[in-house]
């Protein structure tokens, strides 16, 4: 994906999902802006182009045998990236479901596989870090998290402390968001 295309994609993402107001984030922090992931993940044109951008980044993490996305926010993204990169994926649940298989991981994964986690918007990294823990507990190797937007509010450092690289398609700064 070229520089002009990436800039244009960032503009489209902001136009679709950037909201101003008083928001409480998953981390508990308050923010004057919010990037509503569902407003960009539910638009096929944006989802397709975001997946293409993430697929281009994925090449740096080969060999990668499996993708993973935390429920619910990253499921559409990891599915779109799976289609773009032709790689299988698993969904990482927040908690074990209380019926059926009672799994934390949905899909097929084998211990020792190299996994790249896909996330939507990262602030502190909480949901994706929880997913990394579940994946590692299952014997999978996780070295990278690809995300659509890094809000640049501690996520990169939190991942680094766990030996994981955070590789965003966009940062708040690159999108021109004033924090």
Q: How far apart are CA 135 and CA 142, in angstroms?
A: 7
Of 111, 118, 155, nearest to 137 (Cα)? Answer: 111
Q: Tell me the sheet residues that pair with 19.
A: 34
Contacting residues for 119 by C-beta, under 8 A, at least 6 apart: 69, 70, 73, 74, 77, 127, 128, 131, 145, 146, 147, 148
Q: How far apart are CA 157 and CA 162, in angstroms?
A: 9
Half-sphere exposure of 71 (CA within 13 A, CB side): 14
Do residues 123 and 74 make contact, with C-beta atoms less than 8 angstroms apart? no
What pLDDT shows up at residue 145? 97
SS3 for 151? Answer: coil
What pLDDT shows up at residue 38? 94
Tens of pLDDT, residue by residue, the chain (179 residues): 555 588 999 999 999 999 999 998 887 888 999 999 999 999 999 999 999 999 999 999 999 999 999 998 899 999 999 999 999 999 999 766 665 556 789 999 999 999 999 999 999 888 899 999 999 999 999 999 999 999 999 999 999 999 999 999 999 999 999 86
Half-sphere exposure of 35 (CA within 13 A, CB side): 26
Task: Report the 10 Å Cβ neighbour count for 135.
Answer: 23
This model's pTM is above 0.85: yes
């Amino acid at each position: 994906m070229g520089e002009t295309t990436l800039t244009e994609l960032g503009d489209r993402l902001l136009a679709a999902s950037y909201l101003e107001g008083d928001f409480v984030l998953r981390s508990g922090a308050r923010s004057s802006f919010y990037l509503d992931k569902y407003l960009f993940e539910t638009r096929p044109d944006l989802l397709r182009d975001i997946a293409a951008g993430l697929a281009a980044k994925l090449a740096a993490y080969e060999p990668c045998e499996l993708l993973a996305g935390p429920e619910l926010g990253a499921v559409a993204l990891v599915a779109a990236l799976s289609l773009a990169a032709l790689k299988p994926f698993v969904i990482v649940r927040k908690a074990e479901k209380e019926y059926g298989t009672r799994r934390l991981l949905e899909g097929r994964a084998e211990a020792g596989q190299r996994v790249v986690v896909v996330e939507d918007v990262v602030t502190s990294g909480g949901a994706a870090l929880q997913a990394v823990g579940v994946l590692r507990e299952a014997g999978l190797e996780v070295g990278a998290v690809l995300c659509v937007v890094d809000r640049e509010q501690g996520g990169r450092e939190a991942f680094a402390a766990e030996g994981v690289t955070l590789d965003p398609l966009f940062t708040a700064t690159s999108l021109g968001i004033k924090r």
